[in-house]
Amino acid sequence: MKLQNFVSLGRKILGAALNYKSLAKERKVALPDKPIIFLKPTSSYVQEGQAIEVPKQFDVYEEVELGIIIGQRCKNIRTSDAMKYVGGYCLALDLTAVDDMKEVRSKGLPWTFGKGFDTACPVSKFIPHDAIKQPTSLYISCSVNGKILQESQLTDMIFSIEELIAFSSQFMTLEPCDVILTGSPSGSGPIRPGDVIEAKLDNILSMNFSVI
């Protein structure tokens, strides 16, 4: 299996919610005591050269994140062993319909459409594991129409890459080309038709998407 083809070969996308200290501070909530994990369907993937399609009925915000691409099948692994199962990385946007999410959260309902609508997971090309020696030393950022909305060092994550992988593997077998989105910092903002989004992972990679 070629990890470079994670978009077409991956079977699931796991997302970590509320995984940045800055976001918890922004929302004025306590830090979670364990990872909060949700699913996005692989049908929500979109790559550069394709447009983000915002559903007319949704108010959508961007959320820039580092994605972890699983390289080997794993289950019930220890945190100390987790990096052995990282095959590579990607830069991602966890697009979120904030109005729908507010409603379903208030009613204790699933996040299915607010997180999983078509094109809700724009991703970069595959980044080899060896290209990033120390992920937490990097910065991620996102701008809309040239205005920076989000910018953070990955050290601000509440739960580390290793902790997210090990925790998720307790409940769900992780397979090659699966992606774990590691959470987004504070500052996310709305996107609308006509906007251009640029996301960056330090000096390693940038990606651009238009919104229709």
The conformational region for residue 133 under phi > 0 = left, psi -120 to 50 = alpha, else beta, is alpha
Distance in angstroms between the alpha carbons of the first and the last residue of the chain: 33
Q: What is the pLDDT of residues 7-28, one digit of tens each?
A: 999 999 999 999 999 999 999 9
pTM listed for this prediction: 0.96
CATH topology of domain 3-210: Fumarylacetoacetate hydrolase; domain 2 (3.90.850)
Judge residue 90's burial from the number of C-beta atoms within 10 Å of its C-beta, 0-12 exposed, 13-18 middle, 19 or more buried: buried
Q: What is the pLDDT of residues 149-188, one digit of tens each?
A: 999 999 999 999 999 999 999 999 999 999 999 999 999 9
* pLDDT in the model for residue 190: 97
The domain ranges of the chain are 3-210
- For 138, the token pair is 């990097």
In the chain, the amino acid numbered 138 is: L
Q: Which residues of the chain have pLDDT under 50?
A: none
